[in-house]
Chain A
Amino acid sequence: GAVVSQHPSRVICKSGTSVKIECRSLDFQATTMFWYRQFPKKSLMLMATSNEGSKATYEQGVEKDKFLINHASLTLSTLTVTSAHPEDSSFYICSATLRGGAEAFFGQGTRLTVV
């Protein structure tokens, strides 16, 4: 299967600061990537669809000014959590599809803790 790499795997930041999470497709080009958030013992909640070269599409209820998404190349999408607060602490996961197909491959996730 295709490989999606996410970095960092864990990050702790102070309240009020911003954190950037990277999602890379290592062996394929991904015109579309997806960002999810997962709460403990809960499923993945789609936050936004990241499109290369254009603005991201956010799901209802997700603050686009707080969760900035940039998809500058066919292999890299970034999620920046701006002015982070403790309630933003969560597990963030990205995914990408191969050649626009349906099968999505996931990164290893980023555990964000805001203190």
Chain B
Amino acid sequence: EDQVTQSPEALRLQEGESSSLNCSYTVSGLRGLFWYRQDPGKGPEFLFTLYSAGEEKEKERLKATLTKKESFLHITAPKPEDSATYLCAVQASNTNAGKSTFGDGTTLTVKP
């Protein structure tokens, strides 16, 4: 059974204080690992897709990396508007494309 574990559950940072979110996963053949941002009462917003170990992707203050067992979402010099829940999901290669298993998320709060 595919599993995704995210840590920490909650993270409070001061504006400008860089940190990382962790996503550990087990999957029977990885089609892709996905990061999403979710604001309260909204659907997840797509951030990144990572397909193979060693891959990295960046977008503004966010950088996602992938190994064979985990992924990190690095947040550099965060701003209050980065406050949200960040979700990690995996898709197994032996399932329908788009069928995702999600972690419980990390709720990030950035204080000004």
Spell out A's residues near B (CB within 8 Å). 1, 4, 6, 32, 34, 41-46, 49, 91, 93, 95-97, 100-109, 111
Question: Total A-B pairs in contact (CB under 8 Å)?
Answer: 70
Q: Chain A's interface: helix, strand, loop or mixed, by majority?
A: strand
B45: interface (CB < 8 Å): yes
The reply to whether B98 and A96 form a contact with Cβ atoms under 8 Å apart is: yes
A41 to B104, CA, bound (A): 8
Q: A34-B98, A43-B102, A49-B99 are in contact. Are A102 and B87 (CB under 8 A)?
A: no
Q: Are A93 and B96 in contact, with the CB atoms below 8 A?
A: no
Q: Which of B36, B49, B101, B103 contacts A102 (CB 8 A)?
A: B49
Knowing A43-B87, A44-B87, say if A103 contacts B100 (CB, 8 Å): no
Q: How far is the CB of A32 from chain B (nearest CB, A)?
A: 6
**Given A42-B104, A44-B102; A100-B46 close (CB under 8 Å):** no
Chain B residue numbers with a CB within 8 Å of A109 are 41-43
Chain B interface, number of residues (Cβ within 8 angstroms): 25
B43/A43 in contact, CB under 8 A:
no
Q: Are B42 and A49 in contact (CB under 8 A)?
A: no
Inside 8 A of A43's CB, which chain B residues have their CB? 87, 102-105
Report if A104-B98 is in contact (Cβ < 8 Å); known contacts: A43-B103, A93-B44, A109-B43. Answer: yes
The chain B residue with its CB closest to the CB of A93 is: B43
Q: Identify which of residues 16-50 in chain B touch chain A, using a CB-to-CB cut-off of 8 Å.
A: 31-32, 34, 36, 41-46, 49
